[in-house]
Amino acid sequence: MGELDLQATLSALRPRLLRFAHLQLRNESAAEDVVQEAMLAAFEGAGRFEGAASLSTWVFSILRNKIVDEIRRRSREPIMANEEAELALEESVADLFDDAGHWVDTPAPWGNPEASLEQKRFWAVFEACLEVLAAKPARVFMMREFLGLETGEICKELAISTSNCWVLLHRARLGLRECLGRRWFAEA
């Protein structure tokens, strides 16, 4: 791949990489920094790569590692949690069930959700639902699902107990499911 092609491919990828980094880090300048570092690393080592598909996968894997490093570095600082948002999610999840733990409203079916994956508007709603998720459950969910870390590793990084980790993942999944159900599948 020529240098110009490489530059063009990387520039085309940049907005997506930035959105991804921003979802993970929730901080504009930190996202800019990791994307910048990942693109530089890609540029320096790109000689070995052929074709845009493998290049983008590779740049993404570099970015993923940079984000994990950044989270590790930051995990020594407390998460800037918005207590109100954390409590609001906890309550909205608790409100899904009655005192006996049964659904207050039986969840509606989503039809054929796979078809949504092909729709651009779905991804905007998906990102919006991730952005409004409270910081702590969002952080654990992102580390687990987007960065592919095992829960043991996540607990260690964030210095939380395993059971707390599972509670946060449960809450994140129920919250996201509720948001997508309300903002996308109920509309579709």
Partner 1 sequence: MMSCKQATDMMSQGLDRDLSWGERLGLRLHLLICIGCRRTRAQFAFLRQAVQRYTRF
Sites of contact with partner 1 (CB under 8 A): 13, 16, 20, 56-57, 59-60, 96-97, 100-103, 106-110, 113-114, 117, 123, 126, 144-146, 150-151, 166, 169-170, 173-174, 176-177, 180-181
Q: Is residue 79 a contact partner of residue 139, using CB atoms and an 8 Å limit? A: yes
At its nearest, how many Å lie between partner 1 and the CB of residue 29? 23
Q: How many CB atoms lie within 10 A of CB 35?
A: 25
* Cβ closest to partner 1, residue 83 vs residue 124: 124
* Cβ closest to partner 1, residue 78 vs residue 101: 101
* Cβ closest to partner 1, residue 83 vs residue 182: 182
At residue 103, the 3 state secondary structure works out as strand
Q: Provide the residue type at 106 as one letter.
A: T
* Cβ closest to partner 1, residue 30 vs residue 171: 171
* Pairwise CA distance, residues 140 & 110, whole Å: 25
Dihedral of CA atoms 135, 91, 186, 16 in degrees, nearest 10, equals 0
At its nearest, how many Å lie between partner 1 and the CB of residue 4? 21
At its nearest, how many Å lie between partner 1 and the CB of residue 155? 11
At its nearest, how many Å lie between partner 1 and the CB of residue 81? 21
Crossing angle (nearest 10°) for helices 52-74 and 28-45: 130
* Cβ closest to partner 1, residue 73 vs residue 97: 97
Q: Is residue 175 a contact partner of residue 92, using CB atoms and an 8 Å limit? A: yes
The number of helices, as runs of H, and strands, as runs of E, in the chain is 8, 0
At its nearest, how many Å lie between partner 1 and the CB of residue 66? 14
